[in-house]
Amino acid sequence: MPSCPRCDAPVDDEARYCAQCGAPQTEDAAEELDEYVQRQAEQVAGSGGGGGSDGGDSGSGDAFPSKADLTDREQLWRRGSYALGYGTVVVALTRVPAPESWPLILGGIAVLPPIRRLTAEPLGSPLKREVMAGLYAVFALIGIALFVLL
C-alpha span between 133 and 108 (Å, rounded): 10
CA atoms within 13 A on the CB side of 39: 6
pLDDT tens digits for 70-124?
A: 788 888 888 888 999 999 899 889 888 888 889 989 888 888 888 877 877 777 7
Q: What is the 3-state secondary structure (H, E, C) of 53-108?
A: CCCCCCCCCCCCCCHHHCCHHHHHHHHHHHHHHHHHHHHHHCCCCCCCHHHHHHHH
pTM, entire model? 0.50
Give which of 3, 42, 43 is closest to 25, Cα–Cα: 3
- Residue 52 confidence class, pLDDT cut points 50, 70, 90: very low
